[in-house]
Amino acid sequence: MLQMPLRHLERISLKGTFRRVFPILQRLEFPERMDHGEITLFGCTPQEVLEVIGPYIRDYLQRDPRFRDRLEIFLRSDAYGISVRASAAEVGPDRLPQNGPPYARFSARLSQPIPRDVRKKLYIDVLALLPQESIVNFYMDLPVAAEVVVAMPNLQVLRLVNPVVSDGFLLPNPNGPNAHKKLFPSLQRLYLEDAEAVEDNWEPLVTYLVHQTSGDQAVSLGLFDEGVHICSEVIERIEGLVEEFVYDLVQSQGCGRLICDRGRRDRRSD
């Protein structure tokens, strides 16, 4: 297929149906470095997302050298599609996603809603196509088994939206090939947003932190949910395990933020 070289292109934004827009993309030869790209495709099937769009996203991210070493990914999914946001991670593990260059966003909207099990498989399969060794910051909003979804050796920051804390939370399968390994050997910060503990039991989170901080690995934890409540005993155990604990909470005496580290405990009013 004859391609059109775009050697000086810095930004591109395309939106339309899959069958109209994707043939255009295939005809364009993008430069190695491009500061901003946004592509939104409608009317896709799960098969097209997996076999066509997923590999295209992977190739796009691998082409720009600025993505290769410090890639930040925000992967979001719902019944109508999947979205991948990528940027070059800022230096420092506590930085939030940036929209500065290089920045790319890909959205595939399905022609009809899909059931949760199909959605979960699509999510996992698309993630497997991404350059996982380059990912240092990862944000996801679908509660799936960590061992299946995430095997990123250089991951420093993990942010989970709506995670379910239950037995085996973020731990490897005891009968699997990673039974005696850490799934996130480079993890420095874990953020849980709108977390739900099964039967209000936060012990699986404590168990995970014991596992992750073994060998003197320093890990910080952030919990962000106005409705969550963790008893003081569990909070004290978490404080003893992590480098820093940031806990946004609502209590009867008002709103606040609890910030704890090894040697400092501070309650800040909002």
Q: Which two tokens stand for residue 165?
A: 């804390």
Q: Say yes or no: 170 and 133 in one domain.
A: no
Task: For residue 115, count other CB atoms closer than 10 A to its CB.
Answer: 8
pLDDT of residue 156: 92
Beta strand 36-44 with 71-78: parallel, antiparallel or unpaired?
unpaired
pLDDT at site 251: 43
Most confidently predicted of 3-12, 40-49, 193-202: 40-49
Q: What is the DSSP letter of 53?
A: I
pLDDT at 198 over 60: yes
Tell me: do 7 and 125 sit in the same domain: yes
Of 146 and 166, the structure prediction assigns the larger pLDDT to: 166
Q: Please indicate, yes or no, whether residues 152 and 74 belong to a single structural domain of this protein.
A: no
- Sign for the pseudo-dihedral over CA of 162, 116, 38, 57: positive
SS3 state at 62:
helix
Give me the sign of the Cα torsion angle 98, 101, 102, 103: positive
CB 86 within 8 A of CB 70: no
Average pLDDT score over the chain: 82
* Whole-number Å distance between alpha carbons of 171 and 158: 14
pTM of the model: 0.82
- Do 153 and 132 belong to one domain? no
Going through 151-243 in order, the beta strands assigned E by DSSP cover: 157-161, 164-165, 189-193, 196-197, 220-224
User: What is the pairing mode between strands 264-269 and 254-261?
Assistant: antiparallel
197 and 166 both lie in a single domain: yes
Kindly state whether residues 102 and 155 are assigned to the same domain.
no
Among the ranges given (116-125, 141-150, 250-259), the one the predictor scored with the smallest mean pLDDT: 250-259
The per-residue pLDDT for 206 is 96
The pLDDT value recorded for residue 224 is 85
Find the angle CA(197)-CA(155)-CA(217) to the nearest 5 degrees: 75
- Three-state DSSP state, 112: coil
Select from 102, 121, 139 the last residue of a domain.
139
| pLDDT at residue number 157 | 92
The mean per-residue pLDDT over the stretch 100-129 comes to 88
Range of the domain at 84: 1-139
Domain identity same for 86 and 168 = no
Higher pLDDT, 12 or 259: 12
**Number of domains composing the chain:** 2
| Domain end position, chosen among 139, 160, 182 | 139
